[in-house]
Amino acid sequence: MFPNLSPGAIGVRANMEESVKLAAAAGFKGVDVGLAEAQSYGIERTKDLFTSNGLLMGGTGLPVEFRKDDKTFNDGLRELPQWAEIAEKLGCTRFNTWVLPGSNEMPFQEHFQLLRNRFRECALILRDHGHRLGLEFIGPKTLRSRFTHQFVYTLPGMLELCDAIGTGNMGLLLDCWHWYTSRGTLEQITSLKPEQVVYVHVNDAPAGIERDEQIDNVRAMPMETGVIDLPGFLKGLEEIGYDGPVTPEPFKKELADCAPTEAVRLTAEAMKKAWHAARITW
Residue 71 is assigned to a structural domain of this protein: yes
Helix-, strand-, coil-residue percentages of the chain, each rounded to 5: 50, 15, 35
Q: What confidence category does residue 192 fall into, taking pLDDT thresholds of 50, 70 and 90?
A: very high
Task: Using DSSP, state whether 200 is helix, strand or coil.
Answer: strand
Is pLDDT above 90 for 253? no
Residue type, 261: T
Residue 159 lies in a domain: yes
Q: Domain range holding 157?
A: 2-277
CATH number at residue 148: 3.20.20.150
Which among 200, 65, 196 has a CA at the least distance from the CA of 119?
Answer: 65
Average pLDDT over residues 219-248: 98
Strand partners, 61: 96
Mean pLDDT rounded to a whole number for the chain: 97
In percent, how much of the chain has pLDDT > 70?
100
Amino acid at 273: K
* 282: in domain: no
**Angle at 189 (CA atoms; ends 1, 219), nearest 5 degrees:** 80
Strands ordered across the beta sheet of 56-57 = 56-57, 30-31, 2-5, 245-248, 197-202, 170-175, 132-136, 94-98, 60-61
Residue 147 lies in a domain: yes
pLDDT at 278: 98
pLDDT computed for residue 256 by the predictor: 84
Q: Residues 49-103: pLDDT tens digits?
A: 999 999 999 999 999 999 999 999 999 999 999 999 999 999 999 999 999 999 9
Provide the pLDDT for residue 52: 98
* Helix (H), strand (E), coil (C) string for 87-153: HHHHCCCEEEEECCCEECCCCHHHHHHHHHHHHHHHHHHHHHCCCEEEEECCCCHHHHCCCCEECCC
What is the model's pLDDT at position 130? Answer: 98
Residue 66 lies in a domain: yes
Q: Tens digits of per-residue pLDDT, 211-222?
A: 999 999 999 999
**Total number of domains constituting the chain:** 1
Q: Report yes or no: 278 and 231 within 8 Å, Cβ to Cβ.
A: yes
User: Of all residues in the chain, what percent carry a pLDDT higher than 90?
Assistant: 98
The pLDDT value recorded for residue 79 is 98
pLDDT of residue 110: 98
Collapsing DSSP to helix, strand or coil, 182 comes out as coil
